[in-house]
């Protein structure tokens, strides 16, 4: 998988996991859902994503140029 696919998969996993945890443990887990959504939104405007930096350091390729 390329970086964009990894980011989408990680964001989707974080959102689903936090929704499950909010139902099983405490509604405050929804703040984590909001955090992930806010980061996705800011990355659309700033073109900077922390997860992209983390994945790049782990050696995940950005594109298949």
pLDDT single digits (tens) 4-34: 999 999 999 999 999 999 999 999 999 999 9
pLDDT of residue 42: 95
Domain containing 48 equals 3-57
Look at residue 63 and tell me if it is in a domain.
no
- What integer is the mean pLDDT of 57-63? 85
Distance of alpha carbon 45 from alpha carbon 37, whole angstroms: 13
| Cα-based angle 41, 18, 36 (whole degrees, multiple of 5) | 15
Look at residue 26 and tell me if it is in a domain.
yes
Distance of alpha carbon 41 from alpha carbon 45, whole angstroms: 7
Look at residue 62 and tell me if it is in a domain.
no
Average pLDDT, rounded, for the chain: 92
Q: State the pTM of this model.
A: 0.84
Look at residue 30 and tell me if it is in a domain.
yes
Give the Cβ contact number of residue 25 at 10 Å.
9
Look at residue 65 and tell me if it is in a domain.
no
Look at residue 64 and tell me if it is in a domain.
no
The structural domain count of the chain equals 1
């Amino acid at each position: 998988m390329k970086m964009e696919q990894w980011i989408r998969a990680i964001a989707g996993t974080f959102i689903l996991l936090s929704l499950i945890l909010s139902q099983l443990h405490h509604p405050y887990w929804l703040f984590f859902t909001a955090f992930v959504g806010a980061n996705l939104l800011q990355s659309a405007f700033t073109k900077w994503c922390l997860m992209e930096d983390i994945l790049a350091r782990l050696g995940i390729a950005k594109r298949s140029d």
